[in-house]
Amino acid sequence: MATIVTSETAAGQPLAGELHVTEHTITVAASPDAVYTLVADVGAWPQVFGPTVHVEVLEEEDTQDTHHQVLRIWAIANEQVRTWTSRRTLDPAARVITFRQTVPAAPVAAMGGTWRIEPVDDGTTRVVLLHDYRAIGGDPAAEELIERAVDRNSVAELAALKNAAELGDAGAELQFTFSDSVTVAGAAGDVYAFLDRADRWPERLPHVARLGLTEDEPGIQHIDMDTRSPDGSLHNTTSVRVCFEDRRQIVYKQLRVPVAMRVHTGRWTIEPSGDDDGTLTVTSWHTVVLDPAGVSSTLGPQATLAEARALVRKALGTNSSTTLRHAKKFAEEVHAGT
């Protein structure tokens, strides 16, 4: 990492803080186009980049040679979930992506940067990730906090990008998505309340033995949960959740996952069923990236990815279906009592 500090002026007057510029690089044994595609596809970031929890594309437009996006990003920085809005400009011909936060999260006053994907003569690819930032009020403690978060996340993101790109086509075999649904004759608000109040799951769900819940701010939750398996053993997972009460949706990312998995993200959705009877379709979605080494250590060296997918699908689906059934029962009992 290289850090450069420069002073800037506006209309002859010093700005509130100094501009800090950082550079992180990594060499990837994959084609520049493959690497660029991974950086450009923000929908896949939660599965590729460890700090990224959730990304939404708010706006998109094309000009002659570039593509522009406005993004809302939720990511972990210094063990807290931060959210901000950014504008990106993608130049696929040059393999350059620039970004600038339009609504930063405190203590950041301004943040931007550039991804540069460069071919190397030996057939590898060099990735350069630049950041520039300014802290609110030029506060030294805030500058140190931002620098630490930028450094930690940049190193983690580049390592994850390298891993995903070097997997190539094999990476597609490791990732899969599935869902389970129930139909509910009740109110969407009651279903959402059941899913949102995860702190009450130990008393409401038979497979949840213990659950600790804290919030960085309303709607951003940290969960530390012990889940009971059919054989009675307990498995601990930690997750962060972003809860959208207005749209009746909860997205999450597990930070501590079972050994056979590398990544596990998911979401709960509550939507009208479309049957004109006032019922709802409540769905639990999962996206999993398997860890081949973990599969071998857990299931044995002869285990196939297909066997691992089936076992993970069964384990996660069983717990999700149990939660869905209890959410259905809760909402329908409330509805029947009104």
290-305 confidence digits (pLDDT tens): 999 999 998 899 999 9
Q: What is the pTM of this model?
A: 0.88
With vertex at residue 99, the alpha carbon angle to CA 98 and CA 102, rounded to the nearest 5 degrees, is: 150
| pLDDT band, residue 77 (cuts 50/70/90) | confident
Last residue of a domain, one of 147, 168, 189: 168
- Its domain, for residue 145, covers 2-168
Indicate whether 141 and 200 sit together in one domain: no
- Contact call for residues 286 and 180 (beta carbons, < 8 A): no
Cα-Cα-Cα-Cα torsion 49, 54, 58, 60, nearest 10 degrees, comes to 20
State the pLDDT at residue 9.
35
The secondary structure of 154-175 as a DSSP string is HHHHHHHHHHHHHHTTHHHHHE
User: In the structure encoding, which two tokens stand for residue 253, read together?
Assistant: 């990312």
One domain, residues 159 and 238: no
To the nearest whole number, what is the mean pLDDT of the chain? 91
Phi and psi, residue 273, nearest 5°: -75, -20
- Answer yes or no: do 132 and 197 share one domain: no
Mean pLDDT, range 195-199, rounded to an integer: 97
Above 90 in pLDDT, residue 78?
Answer: no
CB neighbour list of residue 277: distance below 8 Å, 6 or more residues apart: 185
Q: Once rounded to an integer, what is the mean pLDDT over residues 212-230?
A: 93
Question: 94 and 194: one domain?
Answer: no
* pLDDT score of 11: 37
∠ CA 167-173-176 to the nearest 5 degrees?
A: 120
Per residue in 144-174, pLDDT (tens digit) is 999 999 999 999 999 999 999 998 887 888 9
Q: What tokens appear for 310 in the block?
A: 């089936």
pLDDT of res. 338 = 66
- In this structure, the answer to whether residues 146 and 193 fall within a common structural domain is no
Predicted pLDDT at 262: 92
Together in a domain, 184 and 162: no
Domain count, the chain: 2
Higher pLDDT, 3 or 61: 61
Q: Are strands 19-28 and 2-6 parallel, antiparallel or unpaired?
A: antiparallel
Do 250 and 196 contact (CB within 8 A), yes or no?
A: yes
Residues 299 and 246 in one domain: yes
Neighbour order of strands in the sheet with 19-28:
2-6, 19-28, 125-135, 108-119, 96-103, 80-91, 67-77, 52-62
For the stretch 79-96, pLDDT in tens is 889 999 999 999 999 999
Give the CATH number for residue 300.
3.30.530.20
Co-location of 128 and 46 in the same domain: yes
Are residues 234 and 121 located together in one domain of the fold?
Answer: no
How would residue 6 be classed by pLDDT, with cut points 50, 70 and 90? Answer: very low
DSSP 318: H
User: Do residues 28 and 162 touch, judged by C-beta distance below 8 A?
Assistant: yes
Q: What 3-state DSSP class applies to 84?
A: strand
- Mean per-residue pLDDT, 185-213: 97
Task: Decide if pLDDT at 14 tops 80.
Answer: no
Indicate whether 21 and 113 sit together in one domain: yes
| Domain end call among 112, 134, 168 | 168
- Other Cβ atoms less than 10 A from the Cβ of 174: the count is 21
Question: Which token pair is 169?
Answer: 């086509």
Name which of 5-19, 24-38, 101-115 the model is least confident about. Answer: 5-19
End-to-end Cα distance, the chain: 61
One-letter amino acid at 176 equals F
Task: Report whether pLDDT(12) > 50.
Answer: no
pLDDT single digits (tens) 40-52: 999 999 999 998 9
pLDDT at 325 over 80: yes
Task: Say how far apart CA 281 and CA 310 lie, in whole Å.
Answer: 24
Same domain, 186 and 111: no
Read off the pLDDT of each residue in 31-37 and give the average, rounded to a whole number.
96
What is residue 151's predicted lDDT score, i.e. its pLDDT? 94
Tell how far CA 81 is from the center of its chain: 10
User: Quick one: pLDDT band at residue 276, thresholds 50, 70, 90?
Assistant: confident
Task: Give mean pLDDT, residues 124-152.
Answer: 94
Task: Give the span between the Cα atoms of 333 and 327, in whole angstroms.
Answer: 10
| 58 contacts 68 by C-beta, under 8 angstroms | no
Quick check: 271 pLDDT over 90?
yes
Tell me, yes or no, whether 198 and 157 share the same domain.
no
Boundary of a domain, candidates 112, 140, 168? 168
